Each structure stands twice: as C-alpha cells, then as structure tokens.
C-alpha cells in the first residue's frame, strides 16, 4: 500500500471520527481550547495570528480569535491562490466583507491587506502525539509552513477535539510537523518528533 493509499483510508476514518468527537465535546469545547492555548502556549510577542473559520465538524476557533483581538493581536485568515501554491493571509475583523473560497471556505476580500502570521492555528482531520496532522490532501499548510519557516520563526498550533487523536498519522518528509496541539482537554508541546512533552490541563 502506498503512502497516498494510507492517507486516503485514514482520512475516511478520521472524518467520521471528527464528527463523533464534535458531538461528544459540544460547543463548550471551543472555549476550553481558548483557555488551554492562552494558558499554555507562549505567544512570543506575536503581532499576527492566522486563524480559520470552521467548516463542517471543525472546532470553532472564533472564541479564541476574539481573545487574540482583545490582546491587540492582528488576525488574518488563509487565502488559496491556486493549486500547489502556499497560502497567503489577509487581515480579518468580524463583519469584514468576505468572498467564497475553495472547499466551502470564506476568505477576506482582496482589498484586505496581506500580513504574515507569527503564529498559525492549523485545522485538521486528525493528529498524533509526534506532531503530525492529517489534513485534507491539498498540502496547503505544509507548503505554507515550509516557506514561512525559512523566513522567520513561526509557531504552528494545531487545534482540534481530543477525540481526533490517532495513534499514528501517515506522513513523509513533505509533511510539516506542528509545534503544539491544543484540544479541549490538554495542550501538547512537540519538543521533537517522537518525543512530545505533555501538559495535562483537564484530566477529566
């Protein structure tokens, strides 16, 4: 079986798993994620944070984005420019004009200024404790992180439901590991691939 076959099968299972995790965790999970991230992940004087507006059963990052805005941190959202290209990010505020994007997402209108984030909130279908995530197959975040990490220090923080965890996410050298994974239960710091340091925030 090829790696792509493994990923395809994993995505099918992870999609169903995320739906179940979303129903089990409920809407309060979004607020717990915000508390866990802000109480654990060092912001390192981040001037800009990239978020995402949830689609399907993705966890809702809007409570967290509101908290960043309260701290005076700029928020930007990803924009797809084309297949096989990295994402760009446009500044966003609640109520700003939006345009329809690929995959059912929305993005700030073209007149919104482009900014480069210092910290990225990364969506996913699943994650494992070595920092690898299972995305949707487009490779957009992997290309984007690969580019940004050659330009400046950035932090990639995966946000997900705890029930999205897998024992192992199939990956190769093109897959960019995350620096942190934050769920409604805990924040996981990825010190090195294969050697995560776990801080348990909510043991229940």
Residues marked as binding? 7-11, 53, 58, 133-141
* Lookup: tokens for 120: 């990225």
Residues annotated within the binding site for ATP are 7-11, 133-141
Cα dihedral across residues 95, 99, 100, 104: positive or negative: negative
Residues annotated within the binding site for substrate are 53, 58
Cα dihedral across residues 18, 104, 70, 115: positive or negative: positive
Which positions ≥6 away from 62 have C-beta within 8 Å?
Answer: 30, 51, 53, 54
| Helix segments in 26-99, DSSP class H | 28-40, 62-70
Cβ neighbourhood burial of 123 (10 Å; 0-12, 13-18, 19+): buried
Distance of CA 61 to the CA centre of its chain: 9
Contact 51, 87 (CB under 8 A): no
Distance CA 164, CA 47 (A): 29
């Amino acid at each position: 079986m090829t790696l792509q076959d493994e990923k395809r099968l994993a995505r099918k299972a992870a999609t169903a798993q995320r739906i179940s995790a979303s129903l089990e965790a409920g809407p309060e999970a979004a607020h717990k994620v915000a508390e866990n991230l802000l109480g654990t992940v060092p912001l390192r004087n981040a001037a800009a944070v990239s978020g995402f507006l949830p689609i399907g059963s993705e966890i809702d990052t809007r409570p967290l984005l509101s908290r960043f805005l309260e701290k005076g941190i700029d928020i930007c959202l990803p924009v797809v420019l084309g297949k096989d290209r990295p994402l760009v990010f446009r500044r966003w505020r609640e109520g700003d004009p939006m345009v329809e994007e690929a995959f059912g997402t929305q993005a700030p209108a073209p007149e919104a200024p482009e900014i480069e984030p210092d910290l990225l909130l990364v969506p996913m279908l699943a994650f494992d404790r070595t920092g690898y995530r299972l995305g949707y197959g487009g490779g957009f975040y992997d290309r984007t992180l690969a580019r940004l990490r050659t330009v400046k220090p950035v932090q990639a923080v995966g946000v997900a439901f705890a029930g999205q965890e897998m024992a192992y996410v199939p990956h190769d050298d093109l897959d960019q590991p995350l620096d942190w994974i934050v769920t409604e239960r805990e924040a996981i710091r990825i010190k090195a691939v294969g050697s995560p340091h776990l801080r348990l925030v909510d043991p229940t």
